[in-house]
Amino acid sequence: MKDLISMADLSNEDIHELLDSAQDLKEKRARGKINEFLKNKSLAMIFEKPSTRTRVSFEVAMSELGGHGLYLNYKDIQLGRGEPISDTAEVLSRYVHGIAGRVNSHDTISEIAKYSTIPVINALSDLEHPCQILADLLTIQEYRNRIKNLKFTWVGDGNNVCNSVILGCAIVGMNIAIACPEGYEPNNDIVKQAKKIGGNVSITHDPAEAADNADILYTDVWISMGDEEEREKRLNDLGDYQINSRLVDLAKHDAIVMHCLPAHRGEEITEDVLNGPHSVIFDQAENRLHAQKALILKLMGQK
């Protein structure tokens, strides 16, 4: 495994190995134990879109492992002025030991990976957000002691995070129910791919049906980065697809509520649920750091 472009790049074994490693790194960090596994290694982090969690967690992960993370705003490097992706990838491969990229188009990150001789990580594209799902699975494992045979319910827009959730659930054997309005279904090829590897994926337009007996209730923003022009239409179409206390009551009594953040209170999730007893949202955000440390160690630790 050279890159993480899609969640489907990971096998069930890879995911379990990464979660064990992340848990170990998390415990070591809590005890103040630092291992400079990535001493003298650098990660170039190309961002074409804004980020808080991804940017900070990658940068801190690199520094805590003894290496260095370079934040490169897409507009400030020659890529933003039209230098070919292939040239950028070849040149960066001579300087650094890994590239993380947050891009508008999934093709961009695939092309960076194609022309790089070093590991490339998708730090979010319009199609997928695999790093997020690694942290999500770590969080579920912590709260449920397993990730297999649970019911994962997605409520809202079938977006990039949803696509990676579908693949992640299919790979580890978790059942996934998606409730979204018509026209907001997840990527059809990804759903097909998930079913092909044995995933139990159901899609409904009824949030109550999807939430019934759920172990996990998950949502994300109705307006993703790049969707801003459709704001009014999206608010209107997605209005009934909110995680609120009525929906939480339909899930298992000890269900956990998750959100990748940033959240829009009063839109996809209500304030009381976000801050309520079922919410594990801030543990989930913290786990981005531990999961990505495990990931960069796996990809960049050998070279």
Q: Contact residues for ligand CP (CB under 6 A)?
A: 51-54, 124, 132, 260-261
Q: Residue 205 catalytic?
A: no
Which residue is associated with the tokens 């292939």? Answer: 86
Stretch that binds ligand NVA, among 113-121, 193-201, 219-227, 240-248 (CB under 6 A): 219-227
Q: Which is nearer to ligand NVA, 42 or 139 (CB)?
A: 139
Q: Please count the other Cβ atoms lying within 10 Å of the Cβ belonging to residue 47.
A: 20
Give residues with Cβ within 8 angstroms of 249, minimum separation 6. Answer: none
Options 132, 141, 284, 292, the catalytic residue: 132
Options 3, 53, 97, 102, the catalytic residue: 102
Q: Give the length of the chain.
A: 303
Q: How far is it, in rounded angstroms, from Cα 279 to Cα 277?
A: 6
Return the H-helix or E-strand segment holding 177. strand 175-179
Query: 179, 171, 170: which is closest to 200 by C-alpha?
Result: 170
Contacted by 52, from ligand NVA, ligand CP, none: CB < 5 to 8 Å by type: ligand CP
Q: How far is it, in rounded angstroms, from Cα 215 to Cα 298?
A: 30
Member of 116, 139, 160, 279 binding ligand NVA (CB under 6 A): 160
Q: How far is the CB of 139 from ligand CP (least distance, A)?
A: 12
Q: How far is the CB of 52 from ligand CP (least distance, A)?
A: 3
Member of 15, 100, 135, 161 binding ligand NVA (CB under 6 A): 161
Integer distance in angstroms from the first to the last C-alpha of the chain?
Answer: 13
Stretch that binds ligand NVA, among 28-36, 71-79, 145-153, 217-225 (CB under 6 A): 217-225
Pairing of strands 151-155, 175-179: parallel
Q: Residue 254 catalytic?
A: no
- Number of residues interacting with ligand NVA: please give it, by CB under 6 A: 9
- Position 220 contacts ligand NVA (CB under 6 A): yes
> Helix 281-300 vs helix 130-144: angle between axes, to the nearest 10 degrees?
120
Q: How far is it, in rounded angstroms, from Cα 164 to Cα 28?
A: 28
- Position 225 contacts ligand NVA (CB under 6 A): yes
Options 215, 220, 290, 292, the catalytic residue: 220
Residue 199 tokens, joined: 């995933």
Query: 224, 158, 226: which is closest to 188 by C-alpha?
Result: 158
Contacted by 159, from ligand CP, ligand NVA, none: CB < 5 to 8 Å by type: ligand NVA
Query: 175, 234, 225, 219: which is closest to 201 by C-alpha?
Result: 175
Q: Which is nearer to ligand NVA, 203 or 225 (CB)?
A: 225
Stretch that binds ligand NVA, among 40-48, 182-190, 218-226, 246-254 (CB under 6 A): 218-226
Q: Which is nearer to ligand NVA, 96 or 123 (CB)?
A: 123
Q: How far is it, in rounded angstroms, from Cα 284 to Cα 274?
A: 12
- Position 59 contacts ligand NVA (CB under 6 A): no
Q: How far is it, in rounded angstroms, from Cα 274 to Cα 158?
A: 20
Q: Which residues pair with 69 in a beta bridge?
A: 43
Options 53, 97, 234, 288, the catalytic residue: 288
Options 234, 260, 278, 284, the catalytic residue: 260
Q: Which is nearer to ligand CP, 178 or 221 (CB)?
A: 221
Q: Which is nearer to ligand CP, 116 or 132 (CB)?
A: 132
Q: List interacting residues with ligand NVA (CB under 6 A).
A: 124, 159-161, 220-221, 224-225, 260
Residues acting as catalytic residues: 102, 129, 132, 220, 260, 288
